[in-house]
Amino acid sequence: MSENLVLDPTAERAPATRTRLARPESLDGQTIGLLDISKPRGDVFLDEIERQLVERGAKVQRYKKPTFSKPAPVDLRHEIATQCTLVIEALAD
């Protein structure tokens, strides 16, 4: 029995899946956080993303998780949430 498939206990007035935030119309005035999760070569990927974003006039801030094996610490998440309007997370090796 999978516990990941359950019956909705609510009145089903809200969508069962959460919708994504709307895509920003432009990068003007956005501060974009780039989060390196500390996987090898994630920085290479993010360096290139940063170069392209800056080229298009965006403001970029860089962040790094202490380790990829654990969720980002609360302080780091708070820092990103208060300093940025958008965030890109580098997942790959």
Partner 1 sequence: MISQDDRSFPGSVDREHDDELAFSWHHDIETVPTLIKGSSQSEDERTVGWSQAEWQRITGIDSLGADLPVMRPGCGSMSVDPNLIDTLRARFAGDGLAAREVEFAQAEDPFEAMFERGWTDGLPVVPPTRERVLQMLEGTTRAPDEVVAVAPPDLVELTVEKIAVNAVMAGCRPEYLPWVIAAIEAVCNDTFNMHGLLATTMPVGPVLICNGPGTKAIGMNSGINVFGQGNRANLTIGRAVQLVIRNVGGGRPGEVDRATHGSPSKISFCFAEDEAGSPFRPLSVQRGIDEGVDAITVFAGEGPKCIVDQLARTPEQLIATLADALMGLHHRKLVVGFDVVLVVSPDHSRIFHEAKWSDPEVLEALYAATARPGAELVRGVGGIAEGVPEGFGEIPSLPKFRPDGILLAHAGGGAGLFSSMIGGWVNGEMGSDPVTVEVRP
- What lies within 8 Å, CB to CB, of 58 at 6+ separation is 27, 30, 31, 32
The reply on whether position 16 binds partner 1 by CB under 8 A is yes
The reply on whether position 74 binds partner 1 by CB under 8 A is no
The reply on whether position 22 binds partner 1 by CB under 8 A is no
Query: At closest approach, how far in Å is the CB of 91 from partner 1?
Result: 13
The reply on whether position 21 binds partner 1 by CB under 8 A is no
The reply on whether position 12 binds partner 1 by CB under 8 A is yes
The reply on whether position 25 binds partner 1 by CB under 8 A is no
Spell 1-13 as b/e; 16+ CB within 10 A means b.
Answer: eeeeeeeeeeeee
From 8-16, 46-54, 68-76, 80-88, span contacting partner 1 (CB under 8 A): 8-16
- What lies within 8 Å, CB to CB, of 45 at 6+ separation is 90, 92
